[in-house]
Amino acid sequence: MERLQKIIAQSGFCSRRKAEEYIQKGLVTVNGQKVTQLGLKFNYDDQIMIDGHCLENKEEKEYYLLYKPRGVVTTVSDEFNRPKVVDFIPTKTRIYPVGRLDYDTTGLLLLTNDGELTNILTHPSNKIEKIYTAKVKGIISSEEFMKIKKGLKIDNRLVKVTYLKIKKIDKVKETTTISIGIMEGRNHIVKRLFKSLNHEVLKLKRETLAFLNLQGLKSGEYRSLSIKEVKKLYALK
């Protein structure tokens, strides 16, 4: 179930704000019933009509896996005119990123116009593992390693760590490179986790999302997902 204006916007028909306008003006019906109240939730396969247009004429779904470079924003528009993740994918379809990576974070990012799949992949109840490589300031001690592994609380909520491995310790530069797997998508969560132990994250890269990885791609490159991969992502629900 999802809010009606979100289903409409995610179908590519119009923006969410415009969808709200259509709803409030009484131009939207769901399964033949007029809906004028904002915030009501429906299913993606409900029959939605907007001003005589059937939302069944949905755009073809597109699915891309991008190796996001550093210095790129994970949005579809940016007020400061910085490079955006959508600039890397030449499509006329209104695609958007699934979740977000920080401006200075690199690595695996999915982009699609499939709202239903986006919801599956970003909903906290569907535990989707993401593995990151983080280069942090300072040497991570074995006590700190165990603390992270057992689970630290950020904003009073435990960050469950599914995978943790030290990859490199640079004693001269005093940095640690560590792989960390987590099943959540709170903003800046990896940086905040290490910050809570006084280790600033200097570099961060998302290596995997569920069974997907960056194999075969260089920074800035992308590929389409196969139907098999899309089905496998749906099955994570």
Contact residues for ligand URA, defined by CB under 6 A: 101-102, 105, 188-191, 204
Catalytic residue numbers read 102
Least distance CB 175 / ligand URA (angstroms): 17
Q: Which is nearer to ligand URA, 51 or 104 (CB)?
A: 104
The values of phi and psi at residue 190, to 5°, are: -70, -45
Token pair belonging to 27: 């131009």
Least distance CB 187 / ligand URA (angstroms): 7
Least distance CB 91 / ligand URA (angstroms): 24
Q: Which is nearer to ligand URA, 188 or 223 (CB)?
A: 188
Q: Which is nearer to ligand URA, 191 or 199 (CB)?
A: 191
Least distance CB 122 / ligand URA (angstroms): 13
Identity of the amino acid at 185:
G
Helix ranges restricted to H, 25-165: 115-122, 142-150
Of 57, 50, 58, the residue nearest 30 (C-alpha): 50
Q: Which is nearer to ligand URA, 74 or 119 (CB)?
A: 74
Q: Taking the CA atoms of the chain, what radius of gyration do you get in angstroms?
A: 20
Of 8, 95, 92, the residue nearest 53 (C-alpha): 8
| Residue whose structure tokens are 């530069």 | 173
